[in-house]
Amino acid sequence: MEIRKPILKKAVLKQAVLLDLPVLDLYEVQVSEGNKDGTDIDEIKINTSVINNISFQSAKVKEIKVLDSSLLNISFAGAAFKETYFERAVISKSRFQSTQLMDCVFRDVVIEKSKCSDVSFRFAKLKGVVFVDCEMVNADFLGATLENVIFENCDLLNSQFSQTKLKNVSFKGSNIDGIAIGKDSFGSIIVNTGQALYLASRLGLKIED
């Protein structure tokens, strides 16, 4: 599966700092540190930028839009977003524990080496998304729509995929112990042999040689 990469020219980026404003508009900049923990933010716009070492922990954000950008070591832990749109973005070594991303839209996004336990993607729309080496225990995708999504070497222990629309979704190489997924989704997912046997046993199928 091909993921569109961010259109990003790091050489032209200007150094910037986070201002104490209800609207954060970051365009063609590089931000190296900042703290917005527990704040109320009307809007975050990140376009063609590199954002490092920023914490939005437990922040309440009405709207966030990220386009053609790289995010490294960002904490969204405990944050709640009402409107969320990410497109052509790479997110690395970041924290999404207990983050509320209900109804979000992610397109052509890579999330790698990040902590995403108890994250809520309820009713989200994810297309062309890759999770790599992510801790996703108790992740909640109830009612979401996933198309061309890969979970690579992720821990999806007890994750929730009930009532989720899945199309070409790969779980190969990830831990799916305790996963909740309907049997009607089986024709739309990719698993390895061990995972197939595990899912069959969850449905009560007895396998004998």
Q: Each residue of 10-53: pLDDT tens digit? A: 778 999 988 788 899 999 999 999 999 999 999 999 999 999 99
Residue 72 and residue 44 share a domain? yes
Residue 175 and residue 147 share a domain? yes
* Domain end (from 88, 104, 124): 88
Residue 134 and residue 49 share a domain? no
CATH number at 188 reads 2.160.20.80
Does the residue 11 lie in any domain? no
For 87-106, write each residue's pLDDT tens digit.
Answer: 999 999 999 999 999 999 99
* Domain end (from 32, 58, 88): 88
Q: What are phi and psi of 186, to 5 degrees?
A: -65, -30
Residue 54 and residue 141 share a domain? no
Residue 165 and residue 62 share a domain? no
Does the residue 186 lie in any domain? yes
For 124-162, write each residue's pLDDT tens digit.
Answer: 999 999 999 999 999 999 999 999 999 999 999 999 998
Range of the domain at 208: 96-209
Residue 45 and residue 113 share a domain? no
Query: pTM for this structure?
Result: 0.93
SS (H, E, C) 47-86: ECCEEECEECCCCEEEEEEEEEEEEECCECCCCEEEEEEE
Does the residue 14 lie in any domain? no
Residue 27 and residue 100 share a domain? no
Does the residue 13 lie in any domain? no
What's the total number of domains in the chain? 2
Q: What does the block give as tokens for 101? A: 């991303």
